[in-house]
Amino acid sequence: MVAACAPLVEQKRRKGLKRARPRKKPAAGFDLAALSPVEVEEWLKSIGFAKVAEAARSRGVCGLALPHLGHSGWEELGIASAVDRAKIMGYLAELEENGYEKNAASSSPPCDPKLTVG
């Protein structure tokens, strides 16, 4: 009888915990951390953030740092608008998921990133 109660107790303990979302696997053969500052600059230019691209390259931002910048890091690179920072972070999520082809024809981003550089 005691053994039947154990799963119920365990279930109650776990009820308040959220399950972590499974991470999507990155594109085959793509390593975000391996992007050089020049490649990061090219990627930022390809999504329409040329002013930030120059600042990122001059600061030496490489692929390893990209996922860790967050809102304050992008703001430090010159993006004053929270909306523009969110757009870049969304593009970064796509980059992590789909990879980056250096010589791919640049397509315009789905939304118009008008930067407020301060």
Query: Would 11 be classed as within a structural domain?
Result: no
Q: Report the CATH number at residue 73.
A: 1.10.150.50
d(CA 88, CA 54): 15
- The tens digit of pLDDT for each residue in 59-111 reads 999 999 998 998 999 999 999 999 999 999 999 888 888 776 654 433 433 33
Query: Would 23 be classed as within a structural domain?
Result: no
Query: Would 110 be classed as within a structural domain?
Result: no
Nearest partner of 87 among 115, 50, 117, judged by Cα:
115
Q: How many domains does the chain have?
A: 1
Answer whether 0.85 is exceeded by the pTM: no
- The tens digit of pLDDT for each residue in 7-36 reads 555 555 555 555 555 555 555 567 788 889
